[in-house]
Amino acid sequence: MVKVGIIGATGYAGGELVRLLLSHKEVEIKWYGSQSYIDKKYSEVYQNMFQIVDEICMGDNMEELAEQVDVIFTATPQGYCASLVTEEVLSKVKVIDLSADFRIKDVDIYEEWYQIKHPSASFIEEAVYGLCEINRDKLKDARLIANPGCYPTCSTLTIYPLLKEGLIDPSSIIIDAKSGVSGAGRGAKLDNLYCEVNENIKAYGVATHRHTPEIEEQLGYACGEKVVLNFTPHLIPMNRGILITSYASLRNGVTEEMVKDAYHKYYDDEYFVRVLEGSNCPQTKWVEGSNYVDINYKIDKRTGRIIMMGAMDNLVKGAAGQAIQNMNLLFGLPENMGLQQVPLFP
Amino acid sequence: MVKVGIIGATGYAGGELVRLLLSHKEVEIKWYGSQSYIDKKYSEVYQNMFQIVDEICMGDNMEELAEQVDVIFTATPQGYCASLVTEEVLSKVKVIDLSADFRIKDVDIYEEWYQIKHPSASFIEEAVYGLCEINRDKLKDARLIANPGCYPTCSTLTIYPLLKEGLIDPSSIIIDAKSGVSGAGRGAKLDNLYCEVNENIKAYGVATHRHTPEIEEQLGYACGEKVVLNFTPHLIPMNRGILITSYASLRNGVTEEMVKDAYHKYYDDEYFVRVLEGSNCPQTKWVEGSNYVDINYKIDKRTGRIIMMGAMDNLVKGAAGQAIQNMNLLFGLPENMGLQQVPLFP
Amino acid sequence: MVKVGIIGATGYAGGELVRLLLSHKEVEIKWYGSQSYIDKKYSEVYQNMFQIVDEICMGDNMEELAEQVDVIFTATPQGYCASLVTEEVLSKVKVIDLSADFRIKDVDIYEEWYQIKHPSASFIEEAVYGLCEINRDKLKDARLIANPGCYPTCSTLTIYPLLKEGLIDPSSIIIDAKSGVSGAGRGAKLDNLYCEVNENIKAYGVATHRHTPEIEEQLGYACGEKVVLNFTPHLIPMNRGILITSYASLRNGVTEEMVKDAYHKYYDDEYFVRVLEGSNCPQTKWVEGSNYVDINYKIDKRTGRIIMMGAMDNLVKGAAGQAIQNMNLLFGLPENMGLQQVPLFP
Amino acid sequence: MVKVGIIGATGYAGGELVRLLLSHKEVEIKWYGSQSYIDKKYSEVYQNMFQIVDEICMGDNMEELAEQVDVIFTATPQGYCASLVTEEVLSKVKVIDLSADFRIKDVDIYEEWYQIKHPSASFIEEAVYGLCEINRDKLKDARLIANPGCYPTCSTLTIYPLLKEGLIDPSSIIIDAKSGVSGAGRGAKLDNLYCEVNENIKAYGVATHRHTPEIEEQLGYACGEKVVLNFTPHLIPMNRGILITSYASLRNGVTEEMVKDAYHKYYDDEYFVRVLEGSNCPQTKWVEGSNYVDINYKIDKRTGRIIMMGAMDNLVKGAAGQAIQNMNLLFGLPENMGLQQVPLFP
């Protein structure tokens, strides 16, 4: 049994970690951390857990926690995990950080986009970016895993094969993203009130969203050159789900066949990535509650561009599910253990 | 392994049966029946099943099916299952009918409220009403199980203990019910279009809804006398969930303690019924995707009435989940096998 | 031109007052009061008003305001209007209070249910309860109008004719109410976040909601005796709308004809109350954005009860629209002036 | 008084025409045409019109109608209006067609994208494209107006100034569009059921949507050269609203100032187009129920692209509202008469 501690267990991503880990048969949750609800029963914060979880919420002492568990998940605001991690901690326990603290290799870029000073930049180099389908081998031996952001996970998986195979022009990439509201977290903010979000759609963080450099870095690795792209997220009146609609110019001579082959080359053996058939477009509802990413594309011969689409559940493959996928890799468990939920429809 | 056939696998209840049975480790689905989508891949009808279910949809030959499987679920319109069931079929296979055909013992009442002639009334007596928490013992040996309606399941479980213990006046019961839209099925009707339902609430079937006599019959068994009550369902703009708000006059001398004891007497050992603590009100979101029913009550001393509330997922405990619970009873499996999903939140 | 000042113009009810008053041709808004957004442009708080309203938000000085305007609307938290009203103010200006401060004649009941000390109880007697259809004559000469609560407006109008005509038993009344989320106001609270409310339904304030004594008082006037009833509100995932489903026992000998006549007697000449035809059930979407209340009923001969249903927009007839209807009465304008919006569908 | 006839009055666009025309003081609706509901009371089809509209639905005899009214609105499926229009009709009455029949000047393109034979191509040349802000002068004398599509209206208005002023590269345009469900009409189709659309988002008609050539033609007029672009619509779980997020490369040397000036040059005098301030992003809720289009942009210096955003209500400015704006132009009425509704929020 893998003994697990969660710091930040009462946010939406933390709650999803609990939901998924409870059905993982090789895991035991030892620590429900939540600074805000300390000493309160976890099931009073999340009443869906009533009679399922009896534990109370604990504080965030990472050093104490490192003695008790095998792996710590941190689902906390930016800067927090980085302020807790030490060499001593990492010598005792694996850390999977769901925040952005260790995702970006260039600390200057991190500090510029997040507008905070990185408190433990020395661990950035060691941290492995936890996009399992791409970094699987490196992840197995990591001590510190930077679990990818929701938009970067979906964007990177959707575009990666074509960029890796050199079929699209990296300078032409535009990503138009749409997310459900749970991605904004459980904080009590006016902008996330029901009446403000419902029956409404808007773009936000246009040309300034913090996931932009993360996506650019990962896609840069795919094509071996610096990628600069447009990324525009939108808020959609639904609880869960991310849809990526991305555009790029096909390189000269690229055929439909070559595109199809590229997707199948990288994803035919991937349990969680489903390349749809025919002209079926990914829909977020078809993956809700599961760790799947559904991907498909359409070539527009009139413009020479390809439209690449990807859908996933932002709280599962975009956060908690992928974190557990990383944990499975770390502990030598089957990668899809505890993650075989069939999507919930309707 | 229990071999399962589903007739009506492409409605919402049928789809939910598939979702749940796929994670049941003692079950193998052998037959995805759907007259409307015959020969079409099941995963083209429900794209969430892509790369999970490879089978194609089959016709509805119950006699042939009886040779191949151990249990048949029928998730079909009223009158259809009754037209297929024969002595020969029941001699070979268990049948769990999710329609109303065998729920009501008095065939005249069935024919009056459903406005159809019952095609096989001779099996009504034998059929066992599949409300597991109440009829558990009788269900284990049944050949034909009438899986309860969604509203009757939630209503009966919410009110049962107080009526059984004689704490409320049967003639005073009023049930005000609220349901998500999936209860209306997957038929393409104007009334169920997104724009007609969204941002809207209405009562429907007022004083005429077909679930009324089913609830009255079951509550009548609880108190040993004929029950006549008001039942008013409402359509709520959400996919899943039923909330029951029911009212009754407390009998003279009944105390808060007696009410509390009654609920705990009947439900403390029930895995799927959660009597909430304090003044927590049941919420449908807290049980979504799971087989739980959350129940609580509030005594209003000013009026002498009690408000009894219950929440569940109409497609799980209100249809497919309860059907599987019945199947587990039939085949001697642990009653909660394949039904331990943690509710999905948010 | 009636010169209007609004205190609390940036809550949802305040915003609706602005929307409606802008299309009222005999009104000029002179004061957009909002303590929270003082000195900020109103159209930055409500971007729908961009290029429509150029004014900035002002503080809450009621005495100064009394010099400048003919009528003050207060759309503020409980206790606030009562703390501002003075004899001097009322000698200069009409006050229409959208809070509960002057709705309940018995100050002890107010203080018990609202748990606040009433700061100006001496004005309660003078205040007129602003349910126009019932108190029209008294309202014309009022100085201080207590604009009714949303639930009480819909509940009272739905039940009033039958109680007034003695057709139902006052002790048997049960009101099961459903409201959209805007009724909860624009405060940034966890419970009103999109992800907490969406795909969810719950009862709240069961047997303790503050609108209970207000409804009881008004219905008591109708039947000439003390009324004690059950009132259970529910939160529905939609922006606007209230639906009342109420139950009562018909008195012996009451016929369908008598019920129909009662509704038509009181409402045939009312512009804003529409008694629906046949078995059409009121739906909140059919009145959205308008000042209409749609009402209908169904007699259940099996139980001897009648189900009385009413639907309206909580922000219009339930708040801002009714306040303007009251203003029209006060200033001798046609009662429906500025309130003839056709409901928005879909 | 302008006498109006509506053919197709019971679709969502037809219903919106009725809602808006009822508050237009120079209009009298003489004919509620609806082949599907002939002889049925209009207010039984749209219960929001109860006690507001007493008329019954009529058939579609355009020749008879031409004798009785001054202007006919056709809110009907593609090909239908074109099959009814004749020289005799146009000699007697103005026709404003909300379908696509007369929008595209090149009949081959129409027939290719719509896959129907145009039944009256000879009138295409005469028809004026009803985008009032751009074709105002030509519209005043038209006999036949092709009311623009919803996506083309929002897309064209959002991009037009920059293209007209030569600030962006026409070959670089990508339009990522999002629409509420009412755009799909009131037909009873599986894809538009509540449970299929709710909590879901998908792209549709990728690289094949029929509004593509319409947008390309209009933008082509703006820049004086053939435009070929990508247009990707998405279905959003909300009733109303369209949001356009469009991307283009800025030409060398174009500054923020030049972009700002271009928008203000074309729109400062336009009542219905609001160029937002600062970095405020258009939101569909801020224009709901109104004829406004909210527009803003953001330059991304990193990529050299500009993101141009526009939001409007698809049923108002995207259909019925714009049709009335056109009618006002035709009859010499103030262009915003009957169209000054303040957007409904929330």
Tell me how far CA of residue B296 lies from CA of B170, B236, C247, in angstroms.
19, 21, 22
The alpha carbons of chain A give a radius of gyration, in whole angstroms, of 20
Sign of CA dihedral C233, C234, C238, C239: positive
Is the CB of D238 less than 8 angstroms away from the CB of B198? yes
pLDDT digit string, tens, across residues D184-204: 999 999 999 999 999 999 999
Average pLDDT over residues B341-345: 97
Query: Which of A181, A196, A199 is the closest to C195 by Cβ?
Result: A181
Three-state secondary structure call for residue C1:
coil
CA distance A194 to A207: 26
For helices D321-330 and D132-139, the axis angle rounded to 10 degrees is 30
Name which of A167, A307, A166 is nearest A250 in CA terms.
Answer: A167
Query: Given this model, what pLDDT does residue B60 score?
Result: 87
For residue C337, the tally of other CB atoms under 10 A from its CB is 16
Which of the other chains make 3 or more beta carbon contacts under 8 angstroms with chain A?
A: B, C, D
In the stretch 170-189 of chain B, residues with CB closer than 8 A to chain C read 174, 176, 178, 180
Mean pLDDT of chain B: 97
Contact D297, D263 (CB under 8 A): yes
- Which of D46, D189, D194, D288 to mutate to test binding with chain B, by most B CBs within 10 Å of its CB? D194
Taking contacts as CB-CB distances below 8 angstroms, the residues of chain B near A22 are 342
pLDDT in tens, chain C (346 residues): 999 999 999 999 999 999 999 999 999 999 999 999 999 999 999 999 999 999 999 998 899 999 999 999 999 999 999 999 999 999 999 999 999 999 999 999 999 999 999 999 999 999 999 999 999 999 999 999 999 999 999 999 999 999 999 999 999 999 999 999 999 999 999 999 999 999 999 999 999 999 999 999 999 999 999 999 999 999 999 999 999 999 999 999 999 999 999 999 999 999 999 999 999 999 999 999 999 999 999 999 999 999 999 999 999 999 999 999 999 999 999 999 999 999 999 9
Query: In which residue are the tokens 């900035």 written?
Result: C56
Name which of A226, A223, A218 is nearest A146 in CA terms.
Answer: A218
Entry field: residues in chain D: 346
H or E segment to which residue A18 belongs: helix A12-21
Query: Given this model, what pLDDT does residue A25 score?
Result: 97
pLDDT digit string, tens, across residues C142-176: 999 999 999 999 999 999 999 999 999 999 999 99
Average pLDDT over residues B244-254: 98
For residue B108, the tally of other CB atoms under 10 A from its CB is 10
pLDDT digit string, tens, across residues D206-242: 999 999 999 999 999 999 999 999 999 999 999 999 9
Average pLDDT over residues A44-71: 96
Sign of CA dihedral D73, D20, B236, B342: positive
10 Å CB burial of residue A228 (0-12, 13-18, 19+) is middle
pLDDT digit string, tens, across residues A246-284: 999 999 999 999 999 999 999 999 999 999 999 999 999
Taking contacts as CB-CB distances below 8 angstroms, the residues of chain C near B311 are 201-202
Contacting residues for D137 by C-beta, under 8 A, at least 6 apart = none
Name which of C274, C279, C263 is nearest B203 in CA terms.
Answer: C279
* A285 part of contact set with chain B, CB < 8 Å: yes
DSSP B85-105: --HHHHHH-EEEE-SSTTT-S
Strands A144-146, A128-129: pairing is parallel
A140: confidence class by pLDDT, cuts 50, 70, 90: very high
Q: How far is C282 from chain D (nearest CA, A)?
A: 9
Alpha helices in chain C (DSSP H): 12-22, 42-45, 62-68, 80-84, 87-92, 107-114, 132-139, 150-164, 194-197, 211-223, 256-267, 321-330
Contact A317, A272 (CB under 8 A): yes
Q: Which of A57, A81, A132, A150 is catalytic?
A: A150
Contacts within 8 Å (CB) and 24+ apart, B184-189 = B184/B235, B185/B11, B185/B12, B186/B10, B186/B11, B186/B12, B186/D190, B186/D193, B186/D195, B188/D188, B188/D189, B188/D190, B188/D193, B189/D188
- Res. B161: pLDDT tops 90: yes
Average pLDDT over residues A294-312: 98
Name which of B210, B225, B220 is nearest B109 in CA terms.
Answer: B210
In a 13 Å sphere around the CA of D141, the CA atoms on its Cβ side amount to 3
CA distance D52 to B303: 41
Which of the other chains make 3 or more beta carbon contacts under 8 angstroms with chain C?
A: A, B, D
Sign of CA dihedral C20, C25, C26, C28: positive
Is the CB of B194 less than 8 angstroms away from the CB of D194? yes
pLDDT digit string, tens, across residues C69-112: 999 999 999 999 999 999 999 999 999 999 999 999 999 999 99
The strand ranges marked E within chain A are: 2-7, 27-33, 71-74, 94-97, 128-129, 144-146, 174-179, 202-203, 230-235, 242-249, 273-275, 293-300, 305-312
10 Å CB burial of residue C25 (0-12, 13-18, 19+) is exposed
D291: confidence class by pLDDT, cuts 50, 70, 90: very high
CA distance A39 to A46: 14
Query: Given this model, what pLDDT does residue C104 score?
Result: 98
Instruction: Provide the greatest CA pair distance for chain B.
Output: 63
Opening angle at CA D271, ends D267 and D274, nearest 5: 55
Contacting residues for B275 by C-beta, under 8 A, at least 6 apart = B263, B264, B267, B268, B295, B296
In the stretch 12-51 of chain B, residues with CB closer than 8 A to chain D read 12
Share of chain B above pLDDT 90, in %: 99
10 Å CB burial of residue D115 (0-12, 13-18, 19+) is exposed
Contact B210, B114 (CB under 8 A): yes
Share of chain D above pLDDT 90, in %: 99
Provide the CA B242 distance to its chain's centre, in angstroms.
Answer: 11
Query: Which of A181, A189, A198 is the closest to C239 by Cβ?
Result: A198
Q: Which of D57, D81, D150, D154 is catalytic?
A: D150
* Phi and psi, residue A294, nearest 5°: -100, 130
Tell me how far CA of residue A164 lies from CA of A138, A210, A259, in angstroms.
18, 24, 11
For helices A321-330 and A132-139, the axis angle rounded to 10 degrees is 30
CA distance C42 to C32: 7
CA distance D186 to D168: 38
* C276 part of contact set with chain B, CB < 8 Å: no
For residue A120, the tally of other CB atoms under 10 A from its CB is 17
Name which of D99, D139, D155 is nearest D293 in CA terms.
Answer: D155
Taking contacts as CB-CB distances below 8 angstroms, the residues of chain D near C285 are 48
Query: Given this model, what pLDDT does residue C60 score?
Result: 87
A60: confidence class by pLDDT, cuts 50, 70, 90: confident
Name which of C44, C37, C26 is nearest C60 in CA terms.
Answer: C37
DSSP B44-65: HHSGGGTTT--PBPB---HHHH
- Res. D60: pLDDT tops 90: no
Contacting residues for D278 by C-beta, under 8 A, at least 6 apart = none
Is the CB of C190 less than 8 angstroms away from the CB of A188? yes
For residue B288, the tally of other CB atoms under 10 A from its CB is 28
In a 13 Å sphere around the CA of B50, the CA atoms on its Cβ side amount to 23
Which of the other chains make 3 or more beta carbon contacts under 8 angstroms with chain D?
A: A, B, C
Strand partners, D3: D28
Is the CB of C19 less than 8 angstroms away from the CB of D276? no
Three-state secondary structure call for residue D235:
strand
Tell me how far CA of residue D95 lies from CA of B77, C206, D5, D141, in angstroms.
47, 57, 10, 12
Provide the CA B221 distance to its chain's centre, in angstroms.
Answer: 18
Alpha helices in D28-70 (DSSP H): 42-45, 62-68
Three-state secondary structure call for residue D247:
strand
Query: Given this model, what pLDDT does residue C128 score?
Result: 98
Is the CB of C300 less than 8 angstroms away from the CB of B195? no
Opening angle at CA D305, ends D304 and D306, nearest 5: 130
Strand partners, B174: B230, B247
Contacting residues for C91 by C-beta, under 8 A, at least 6 apart = none
Looking at this protein, which amino acid is placed at residue B256? E
Active site residue D132: no
* C194 part of contact set with chain A, CB < 8 Å: yes
Contacting residues for A61 by C-beta, under 8 A, at least 6 apart = none
Strands B27-33, B71-74: pairing is unpaired
Taking contacts as CB-CB distances below 8 angstroms, the residues of chain B near A240 are 346
Per-position b or e across B21-59, b if 16+ CB within 10 A of its CB = bbbbeebebbbbbbeebeeebbbebbbbbbebbeebbbe
CA distance C284 to C294: 8
SS3 content of chain D, % helix, strand, coil (to 5): 40, 20, 40
pTM of the model: 0.98
Query: Which of D181, D188, D195 is the closest to B182 by Cβ?
Result: D195
